[in-house]
Structure 1
Amino acid sequence: MDENGRHIVVVGAGFAGLQFIKDLKGAGVRITLIDQRNHHLFQPLLYQVATTLLATSEIAWPIRRLFRDRDDVTTLLGTVIGVDATAREVRLEDGSAISYDTLVIATGARHAYFGHDEWAEHAPGLKTLEDATTIRRRILLAFERAETTTDPDERAAELTFAVIGAGPTGVELVGIIAELAHRILPREFRQIDTHRARILLVEAGPRILAAFDPELSQYAADALEKKGGVQILTGTPVTQITAQGITVGDDFIPARTVIWAAGVQASPAAEWLDAEADRAGRVMVTPALTVDGHPDIFVLGDTAHVESDGQMVPGIAPAAKQQGQYAARVIRARLTGAEAPDPFRYRSMGNLATIGRNSAVIEYKKWRLRGWPAWWAWGIAHIYFLIGTRSRLAVALSWLWSFVTGQNSARLITQGDNSERR
Structure 2
Amino acid sequence: MQEKHHVVVVGGGFGGLQLVHDLKGAPVRITLIDRRNHHLFQPLLYQVATTILATSEIAWPIRHLYRDRPEVTTLLGEVQGIDRAAKAVTLASGRAIPYDTLVLATGATHAYFGHDEWAHVAPGLKTLEDATTIRRRVLLAFEQAESEEDPARRDALLTFTIIGAGPTGVELAGIIAEMAHRTLPDEFRRIDTRQARVILVEAGPRILPAFAEELSAYAMAELGKLGVEVRTGTPVTDCTAGGVRIGDSFVASCTLVWAAGVQASPAAKWLGIDADRAGRAMVDQDLTAPDNPDAFVIGDTALIKQENGAPVPGIAPAAKQQGAYVARVIRARLDGQPAPGPFRYRHQGSLATIGKRAAIIDFGRIKLKGGLAWWIWGIAHIYFLIGTRSRFAVAWSWLWIYLSGQHSARLITQKEAQRRED
| TM-score of the aligned structures, taking structure 1 as reference length | 0.98
Q: Find the partner of 1:281 among 270, 274, 279.
A: 279
Is the Cα contact below 8 Å between 2:136 and 2:417 reproduced in 1? Answer: no
Following TM superposition, by how much is the alpha carbon of 1:419 offset from its aligned partner in structure 2, in angstroms?
Answer: 5.2
SS of 2:60 mapped into structure 1: strand
Aligned ranges 1:20-419 → 2 under 5 Å:
20-228=19-227, 230-309=228-307, 310-414=309-413, 415-416=415-416, 418=418
Identical residues among aligned pairs (%) = 67
- On the 8 A contact 1:145/1:421 being kept in 2, the answer is no
Q: 186-195 vs 302-311, which deviates more? A: 302-311
Q: How far did residue 421 of structure 1 move?
A: 2.4
Q: Which runs of 4+ in 1 moved over 6 A?
A: none
Structure 2: distance between partners of 1:291 and 1:32: 20
1:68 partner amino acid: R
Deviation at 1:146, TM superposition (A): 0.5
SS in 1 for 2:352: strand
**Structure 1 SS opposite 2:416:** coil
Shift of 1:5: 2.1
Give the Cα–Cα distance (whole angstroms) in 2 for the partners of residues 169 and 70 of structure 1.
34
SS class of match (1:312): coil
Separation (CA, whole Å) in 2 of partners of 1:100 and 1:153: 59
Paired letter, 1:111: H
User: How many residues were matched structurally?
Assistant: 419
* Distance in 1 between residues matched to 2:380 and 2:3, nearest whole Å: 37
Partner SS for 1:13: coil
Whichever residue aligns with residue 359 of structure 2, its letter is A
CA RMSD of aligned residues (A): 1.1
Letter of the 2:200 partner, please give it. Answer: L
Summarize the Cα distance change of 1:28–1:401 in structure 2 as closer, same or farther, 3 Å threshold: same
Q: Is the 8 A contact 1:172 1:354 kept in 2?
A: yes
Please report how far the alpha carbon of residue 66 of structure 1 lies from its aligned counterpart in structure 2 after TM superposition: 0.2
Distance in 1 separating the partners of 2:417 and 2:255:
15
Q: Which amino acid aligns with 1:221?
A: M
- Give secondary structure in 2 for the equivalent of 1:393: helix
- Mapped to 2, the partners of 1:74 and 1:114 lie a distance apart of 37
Q: Which runs of 5+ in 2 are unaligned?
A: none
Partners of 1:39 and 1:62 within 8 A in 2: yes
Letter in 2 for 1:420: R
**CA displacement at 1:416 relative to structure 2:** 2.9
- Give 1:4 shift: 8.5
Aligned partner of residue 360 in structure 2, secondary structure: strand
Deviation at 1:115, TM superposition (A): 0.1
Report the secondary structure of 1:307's partner residue. coil
C-alpha distance in 1 between matches for 2:305 and 2:326: 15
CA offsets 1:202-230 (integer angstroms, 9 cap, x no match): 000000000000111010000001112x1
Query: What does the per-residue CA deviation read over 1:25-75, in whole Å, with 9 as the maximum and x for residues that have no partner?
Result: 000101000000000000000000000000000000000000000011000
Spell out, residue by residue over 1:100-129, the C-alpha distance to the aligned partner (whole angstroms, 9 max, x if none).
Answer: 010000000000000000000000000000
Query: Per-residue deviation at 1:163?
Result: 0.1
- Distance in 2 (alpha carbons) for counterparts of 1:44 and 1:358: 17
Q: How far did 1:358 drift?
A: 1.2
- How far apart are 1:418 and its partner, in Å? 3.2
Q: Which amino acid aligns with 1:338?
A: Q
Unaligned runs of 5+ in 1: none
* SS at structure 2 position matched to 1:44: helix
User: Match of 2:210, SS?
Assistant: coil
